[in-house]
Structure 1
Amino acid sequence: MGPIRLLVPGNIRHSSGGNVYNARLVAGLQALGADVDVVAVEGSWPDAGAGERRRFGALLGTGEPAAGPGQAVVLVDGLVAVGAPDELELAATAGRQAWVLIHMPVPESAGRAALESEARALRAAAGVICTSTWAATRLAERGLPQPAVTLPGVDPAPQATGSKPPHLLVVAALLPNKDQLLAVEGLAHVRDLPWTASFVGSDQADPDYAREVRGAITASGLGERVLLTGELAGAALEAEWARTDLSLLVSRHEAFGMAVTESVAHGIPVLVRGGTGAVEALGLGTLATDDGDPRLPGAALPLPEGGQESPGRLGRVLRQWLEDPETRENWRAAVRDARTRLPDWSRTAEEVLALLAPKG
């Protein structure tokens, strides 16, 4: 096959799950011998302006002849694609269909216009690849073309040593959807017990929300126990994982949650919000028990948005984990089993390359 051109949003500069997936996919494809050209498409995607959409259309090759032997196979990040259905339809008419890589479907709360834009873009695509079963299911429920699923991989990691008192970790950019405010409120319910926590993630993605989180930490009297580190990478991030005993991902909407599998790879159990794609990530390396239910390395909690019910539920589970040795040991045993069965990134790249290869 010809080269692969991956078009990614130029406006997402923090370490998002989509950015990490894209980068690891590119590295994996190149390791398989593929020629990959990554192009950052500037614009406030998915709400880019007319000029930015025209530039995106040019990258699709809408003014060029139809694809032939050796022509680049185009793969477009979904954040860009759903903001430019006109350009994808024009490309399809010109015989220059592009594949679309969906990390997170458009949420229902975005409104009818956004959902219609997504539907048009995906129907114009040569094919759709989702990075989680949860995302693919959402799209199928909307009557859209059946997408393929290529799950994220994870790198093997050393077993975390943990801390005394126990250390908790939240890895996510400070954004309303990631709901760090809920995590703070849950931790406030166990302020009488010994523990520390770190929130690792960009505080520049939404500075106003970051200020809210800082204010909530102070107001809850947790300023000496909860550290906002900002975005970390390399040795600094590994040091945080190494001292962690439990991680949390309580996003309101999550297609997968690579922080979950990374936590499991480090031998650290995880609390996630039920009903999100993070549940798939939590169960990825687990096997069913004799009664058919997986022994999860952590728990998926029903945490409704809004009201005071969710902080109390989260606080009760945190208290059980902090106070009950049996709960801690059950989760540790489950994570020890699961961490050896997680998929790697080479499998992700192999699956994507097989999908993009010309058929026949």
Structure 2
Amino acid sequence: MPVVRLLVPANIRHSSGGNVYNARLAEGMQSLGWEVCVLPVEGNWPHASAKERRRFGSILGAWESGQEQQSAVVLVDGLVAVGAPDELEVAAKAGRRTFVLVHMPVPETSGREALQKEARALRAASGVICTSSSAAAILKERGLPNARVALPGADPAPPATGSRPPHLLAVAALLPNKDQLLTVAALEGIQDLEWTASLVGSEQADPAYARLVKEAIARSGLAGRVQLTGELAGDALEAEWNRADLSLLVSREEAFGMVVTESLARGVPGVVRQGTGAVEALDLAGLKDADAGTRLPGAALALPHGGEADAAVLGTALRRWLEDHALQQEWRSRALEACGLLPGWEETAGNVVRALTGVE
């Protein structure tokens, strides 16, 4: 039985796309006959201490020569890998088969040193797997090794029933990159219309930012219409999806945005930020029209400026959707069409297995 050790960051404790992907990948590979050992790696990744990096290095080199080492493959979450290039280089010299799973490339804004660490880590790896085409394209632009792509899957789900008035849903931890403040500012400008909204996500990932979001909701008089639910799972999360009519993911940076495909799986259209990997997620079903070309089940908005300008663009798009019932029906029908075309997690696992085994 082939063996893979999946090393994941132990410091990401809130629900995230990366965590969900890693868990579903492990399940999918097990169903394909692989023995999967998921090992959370302690440390403040990617900014781990020397002691934490040494511990990670010991995990990479913990297996003596013999049949187990020959058959075992190590797959390291990119958040860990980019924080420990020295250890990956040592593992490469020792002949370890170590692959890196990149959920999101290091942002350009992280600085030269962080980008250099990423480059060293990925060049030391036996192979690189990206969870989105956009991530692979970024790495290629940086002159890094070509990466295989294993897009996230989506679980089948019953179509959402929606709500009256329409309910808007944003599922993401409250973090500056997810830009819930932009969403609140946009909603403030359409208070004359009927709608409700929920921001579903951890308030503990960045408590200071979560406080800013709460204050913005209160200051704009939206406390009765915008609900902060905290992180939800299971039936509580399914209930939110079931009452949703439109999902929002306006992250400043996003390699893919699994919440978008989770939305489409339920026939709920989405609004995303243009220029991010969330556009790939919204277009994953590849809906086409002979005359009009691509038919997105929602919209990808240009939001490049920040502040009031972007809030106005998002608010205008939401106003148009709320006031145009024909547009609501059009987006809904496209989302329902897309939900039957989304790949499953078994396809994701198969793509990763082919990358690990060198099968084209």
TM-score by length of structure 1 reads: 0.97
Which has the larger displacement, 170-179 or 333-342? 333-342
Which amino acid letter does the alignment assign opposite residue 110 of structure 1?
A: S
1:27 aligned residue: 27
Please list, as runs of the form range in 1=range in 2, the aligned pairs for 1:136-147 lying within 5 A after superposition. Answer: 136-147=136-147
Task: Measure how far apart 1:67 and its partner are.
Answer: 8.1
SS at match of 1:74: strand
The 1:63–1:21 alpha-carbon spacing in structure 2 relative to 1, beyond 3 Å, is closer
Corresponding position: 1:100 with 2:100: yes
CA–CA distance in structure 1, aligned partners of residues 225 and 287 of structure 2: 36
1:73 aligned residue: 73
CA–CA distance in structure 1, aligned partners of residues 177 and 155 of structure 2: 26
Which amino acid letter does the alignment assign opposite residue 274 of structure 1?
A: Q
**4+ residue runs over 3 A deviation:** 62-71
Which has the larger displacement, 336-345 or 303-312? 303-312
Corresponding position: 1:239 with 2:234: no
CA–CA distance in structure 2, aligned partners of residues 93 and 230 of structure 1: 45
State the Cα deviation string for residues 200-221 of structure 1 (Å, max 9, x = none): 1100000000000000001111
Contact 2:182 2:307 in 1 (8 A): no
- Root-mean-square deviation over aligned CA pairs: 1.6
1:50 aligned residue: 50
1:195 aligned residue: 195
Task: Measure how far apart 1:305 and its partner are.
Answer: 4.3
SS at match of 2:307: coil
Which has the larger displacement, 89-98 or 134-143? 89-98
1:342 aligned residue: 342
Please list, as runs of the form range in 1=range in 2, the aligned pairs for 1:103-182 lying within 5 A after superposition. Answer: 103-182=103-182
CA–CA distance in structure 2, aligned partners of residues 99 and 80 of structure 1: 12
State the Cα deviation string for residues 141-160 of structure 1 (Å, max 9, x = none): 00000000000000011111
CA–CA distance in structure 1, aligned partners of residues 52 and 288 of structure 2: 49
Task: Measure how far apart 1:69 and its partner are.
Answer: 6.6
SS at match of 1:4: strand
Please list, as runs of the form range in 1=range in 2, the aligned pairs for 1:85-96 lying within 5 A after superposition. Answer: 85-96=85-96
SS at match of 1:354: helix
What is the aligned residue count? 360
Task: Measure how far apart 1:236 and its partner are.
Answer: 0.5
CA–CA distance in structure 2, aligned partners of residues 75 and 66 of structure 1: 19
CA–CA distance in structure 1, aligned partners of residues 336 and 45 of structure 2: 40
Structure 1 gaps of 5+ residues are none
Task: Measure how far apart 1:285 and its partner are.
Answer: 1.0
CA–CA distance in structure 2, aligned partners of residues 195 and 283 of structure 1: 26
State the Cα deviation string for residues 277-332 of structure 1 (Å, max 9, x = none): 00000001132211362111000000014232100000000000000112111111
Contact 2:152 2:345 in 1 (8 A): yes
1:9 aligned residue: 9
Contact 1:66 1:95 in 2 (8 A): no
Which amino acid letter does the alignment assign opposite residue 36 of structure 2?
A: V
Contact 2:100 2:127 in 1 (8 A): yes
TM-score by length of structure 2 reads: 0.97
% identical aligned pairs: 64
Which amino acid letter does the alignment assign opposite residue 80 of structure 1?
A: V
